[in-house]
Amino acid sequence: MDERLAGEAGDGLRLPEFTRSLRGFATASAIGTHEHDLLFGPLIAARRSAAHVVAAEAKAAAFDADRLRRALDEAVATIAKDRAGTDPAGRRALEACLEAAAAPLIGALAVLATASATLRAAQNPPRAGAWAVWCGAVQAVFDATDAFWLVLDDVAPRSGGFRLPSAVVLLAISLALAASGAAAQHVTLRVPGVRADSLIAAGFDVVGTEPGAVLIVASPRDRARLVTQGVTEVRSSRGELVVPGLANAQAVTAVYRSFDDPVRGIRAWTDSIVAANPRVTVDTIGRSFEGRPLLMFKIGPKGDSPQRPNAVFVATYHAREWAATETALRLVKYLAAPPGTDARRDSLVQSRDIWIMPVANPDGYQYTFSTNRLWRKTRSPQAGGAIGVDMNRNHSANWGLDNQGSSPDPQSEIYRGPAAMSESETRSIETWHLSHPPVVALSYHTYSGLVIYPPGAVYGGLAADLPVYKTLAGTNLRSAVTDRLPGSPRSSYMPGPGWMLYTTNGEYTDFASSKSGALAFTTELTSGYAASGYYGFEFPDDPALLEQLFQDNLPFALDLLDAARDPAAFVSATTARRTSPLTIESASPEIRVIVPTLAATTTSIAANGPLTFRLDSTAGGKYTRRIISAPVARPAAFSVTGIGSAATFRLLAVAGAETADAGWTLSGFAPDSVFSKSGRYAWFGTSGTLQSPKVTVPADIDTVSLAYWTMHSGSGFTAEPSGRVDLSKDGGATWTTVGIQRGFAPVWYTDGLTIGGVRGKSIAFRFTANGLPWRLDEIAFIGHAGVVSTAVTSSGVLKPSENPVRSPTVRFIWPFGSLAGDLTVFDFSGREVWRRQMSPGDPLAWDVESLHVANGVYIAVAKSGSRSSRLKLFVARRSQ
């Protein structure tokens, strides 16, 4: 048969002779053997098919990379079975060794897949170039198959019953990788039959879950660990060939840009936008291990003014998360647009110090373009020959708290480093934050479709500033970020504390909130899925999809900028929430309330007499604080007294799953004694409903809070399973969904909601578990019985706690008693610098220190309806 295959007639395209140098194929003694046929048979068949067609597309179809990859997997499995004999562990170990040795061939098949797609899309006259690239890819596949054949006996000797002790599997695979030159490659795997939390605890890089399987990104060493533990791995399917990251890292991109490319790279893009736009400046806040600059963009007025609150956006702590960097770059471009086209944008840019860091990990990021697409860590050398540290486990907050939220193993993908801030990148970020303390901070990651916030280190922990976080991030019922990407299984991102996904320590948002005082969030961009299937970290290099991703996340970014002036007073149109001055989290077995931080030290709780209480020492909030009473057995009523007001609450109903808690309707739920928050029992169900008895709200109460203790075993990676909370205001005739429960919470924590407009109505709540293992206890209906002002007013005269102001905070006495209104402070030029919407009982305090208020003359104006009071205020703080 002619070894030269003609291209299209008359076009001069010729497939070169590719069998001349094939040592394995030319080994006469091997031709015709079963194993030789397994490896080379699919290639010979492809060559024969290509010889009988003319069109370039048809020749490319003959060498279908997906089909060839499946054939290779089957060949490896068969050879391992034949050579290992009847020992299952030995067969799995041998198969892992063979797959590791075949890594160059796997990579060559990936290159062939890309070259085939390019060839099919090419038009004349550029087709000649695409044809040449494709021919080279075919040649490389044959060469790699040849090389694999030649090392086959070294990797898997014909010993008649291969047995490889599990203790030496890691070493054997490492040697095979050294021979193949593929030691750095990572792949995405589906691991069936193992829980995600078990894999996380073992240090694997868990990135998602699917029905019956967990998704991990694995190095060859991780794959060896799976084998030694008897776990069967299955490659993830995305509707295309899934390969080690090398081939995809070297692919040409249309939108994504590497760091170093002198034409399109991050540094080149930076130079271009700074030169073209006077709104944009850039600082180098440090250097990476390999010497790349850590670039921090500044949008808006030059300099760092104490009059303007800081807001910072950081992207790509983890190198492989290209869509995070692209989102940050688009945010730079959006905010830098010429003034005059968007009033809100112009106002925010002029009145905030906006900082954007598109690549926190430039060394790792560049490595994903040059060598390994799925690389995660930095590139600094570590003990035992390992490379890199997980920057998002290297921060000083909670560093090394345990070995589940980070790993002490340098080979682990979540290695925390030998010490807190061991990485130059992490040190530079922390130093910058402490000299530019942000009011709000957002870290862009991919993927999972989440908006998460501190704390993240311990299951069940809740931020003291939780009401402010919920105002900005929203709830599962109305999230701050919608997901409109085609084919996504989510309609919005899931908000919640970081541990709802899994626990982390040494993480950025815990640092930014606890050490620099920021309201800090992480968005995990995209669900990782489209109509075509799973793409994970490899979000498509598609301009339209990347723009949709940016537009989905833009409202949240703008809300953070808006809120930076006064987060506790911010009213979000995106989430339809505002921060209440008083939040009830629990009425039993202890009373938990959240009050403004400035009122926390003067707030008291009473129920049938005074109660002892404490501030939650684990969650020190900047805007709100949690107060926890001593244990109390289902009080009939309680009161909370703070600055200027006393609020009274009545328990309309409260129940756990105790024998005396009658009236609840159960279908699929039952009392359970394994875990309970109070008493002997809690309700537990996985699929079914738990419905409360009907409660008639008294005529003097219009607002009711639902507060309950809960545990659930969902997933932060997926929207399902879930739980639903429904409300009826008409005695059970109709129902409205008012809450959705998602995520993984293996310990008790409080949750709830508040509803208004229920005066005199017959209300009931219903909990529905949709495949979610869900525990509930001490469910309380709490009526807001009223607020009585205890403040001393001066007949409509606004008075400050001091004038001139020399303290960090100035407090005002609201001049209009129980009437609502607002207090606004203007500088002497008439520019608004602070505003607080007032409700009866609100503490009225202006934190001039945290807002960096400059010394000078200010005008404070209180308004309530047609009534107003103003005063001239002098700020004269010596610290300035």
Active site (catalytic) residues: 524
Using CA atoms, how far residue 110 sits from 60, 68, 222, 266, 494, in Å, is 13, 10, 21, 26, 34
The DSSP secondary-structure symbol of 239 reads S
Residue bearing tokens 């006393």: 646
Q: What is the chain's Cα-based Rg?
A: 31
Of 433, 439, 393, nearest to 296 by C-alpha is 433
Q: Which two tokens stand for residue 148?
A: 């694999």
Q: Report long-range pairs for 167-174 (Cβ below 8 Å, ≥24 apart).
A: 167/228, 169/93, 169/96, 169/97, 169/224, 169/227, 169/228, 170/221, 170/224, 170/225, 170/228, 172/93, 172/97, 173/96, 173/97, 173/100, 173/220, 173/221, 173/223, 173/224, 174/220, 174/221, 174/224
Structure tokens at 35: 């194993």
Distance CA 231, CA 215 (A): 13
Q: Look up residue 418 and give its amino acid.
A: P
Residue 650's nearest CA partner among 599, 571, 703 is: 703
Burial group, residue 88, by CB count within 10 angstroms (0-12, 13-18, 19+): exposed
Tell which residue, 693, 704, 584, 708, has the closest CA to residue 656: 708
Question: Beta strand 450-453 with 494-497: parallel, antiparallel or unpaired?
Answer: parallel
Q: Six-digit token pair at 355?
A: 């900082």
Cβ neighbours, 10 Å, residue 473: 29
How many other C-beta atoms can be found within 10 angstroms of the C-beta atom of residue 641? 18
> For residue 682, which of 656, 659, 706 has the smallest C-alpha distance?
656
Q: Which residues contact 207 (CB under 8 A, 6 or more apart)?
A: 188, 215, 216, 217, 447, 448, 528, 536, 537, 717
β-pair partners for 786: 648
Q: Of 90, 91, 95, 49, whose CA–CA distance to 68 is shortest?
A: 49
CB of 852 within 8 A of CB of 309? yes
Q: How far apart are CA 820 and CA 814, in angstroms?
A: 10
Amino acid at position 402, single letter = D
Alpha carbon distance 787, 645 (integer Å): 7
Q: Which residue has the tokens 């057995």?
A: 633
For 624, residues 6+ apart whose C-beta sits below 8 A from its C-beta are 464, 465, 466, 467, 468, 568, 579, 583, 594, 595, 596, 597
What gap in Å lies between CA 215 and CA 218, rounded to an integer?
9
Q: Concatenated DSSP letters for 598-653?
A: HHHTT-EEESSSB--EEE-TT---SSEEEEEESP----SEEEEEETTEEEEEEEEE
One-letter amino acid of 367: Y
Q: What is the C-alpha to C-alpha distance for residues 249 and 69, in angstroms, rounded to an integer? A: 19
In 3-state terms, what secondary structure has residue 123? coil
- Give the residue carrying structure tokens 């198959």: 145
Backbone angles phi, psi at 155, to 5 degrees: -75, -40
Residue 138's SS3 state is helix
* Rounded distance between C-alpha atoms, residue 545 and residue 874, angstroms: 52
List Cβ neighbours of 609 (8 Å cut-off, separation of 6 or more): none
